[in-house]
Structure 1
């Protein structure tokens, strides 16, 4: 994986995690949590997407940092 793409995925993943945490503390999420016991689906998907993107980005950076013997 290209190192630039890995860094971009890591940055996007971190941004999604921050946005997901912010969305999970919003008023609509509080209302949803009051009635269902869970935050909104949007905040959950933002957090999941952020974690996956960050893991893929970190994995690409680790894997891209090793020399290839072709």
Structure 2
């Protein structure tokens, strides 16, 4: 994996983490969290996808392209 792809994954992951955080702070998520005790599925998927993208991107940067 090239360094450019790793960097792109880190940026995409950061964007997904941001959207996941914003989704978890929305009114719908607050109501869902009050009723079920869990955030909405959208916010969970954004946060998990963002975290995975950041980890894979960091691995790509550290490993570098050969």
TM-score relative to the length of structure 1? 0.90
Structure 1 residues 1-70: aligned runs within 5 Å: 1-64=1-64
Matched residues, number: 66
CA distance in structure 2 between the partners assigned to 1:61 and 1:3 by the alignment? 5
| Cα shift at 1:34 | 1.1
Question: Relative contact order, CA 8 A, sep 6+: which one is greater?
Answer: 2
Unaligned 5+ residue runs, structure 1? none
What's the offset of the Cα at 1:25?
0.4
Gaps of at least 5 residues in structure 2 are none
What is the TM-score normalised by the length of structure 2?
A: 0.95
Moved >3 Å (runs of 4+) = none
Computed over aligned residues only, the root mean square deviation of the Cα atoms, in angstroms, reads 1.1
